[in-house]
Amino acid sequence: MQIGRQELVQQIDQARWEWLLPHQKRDALIWVNGMLELAEVGERLAADDAASVQAWLASHMIAKPSPDQLDEWSRQPERMFAMLVVSPFVLIQETSDSE
């Protein structure tokens, strides 16, 4: 059963960085560039759309968080992210109202 984009949009939540740390520790976080829609990335990932995912990876539009990002976010544990669980991954996107 394929998950629809509208269903994924409804599952997007907000989370502070400190709440995402357990997911980082199990290497499950995927950072999504703000130019992409989180639900679209989740939909393509859930559908095993390897072509889209590979293109985003190659263009650095999605990636595992870099050491620099992790350092920056760790200094701001209250920083807010949009998040979407697409098991086994947690997609995150920095929000414009991050402190």
pLDDT tens by residue, the chain, 99 residues: 567 888 998 999 999 999 999 999 999 999 999 999 999 999 999 999 999 999 999 999 999 999 999 999 999 989 999 999 999 999 999 987 644
Say how far apart CA 53 and CA 26 lie, in whole Å.
Answer: 21
Which two structure tokens, joined as six digits, stand for 23?
């997911």
| pLDDT, position 99 | 45
Q: Distance between the two ends of the chain, CA-based, in angstroms?
A: 38
| pLDDT, position 97 | 60
Q: What is the pTM of this model?
A: 0.91
| pLDDT, position 3 | 73
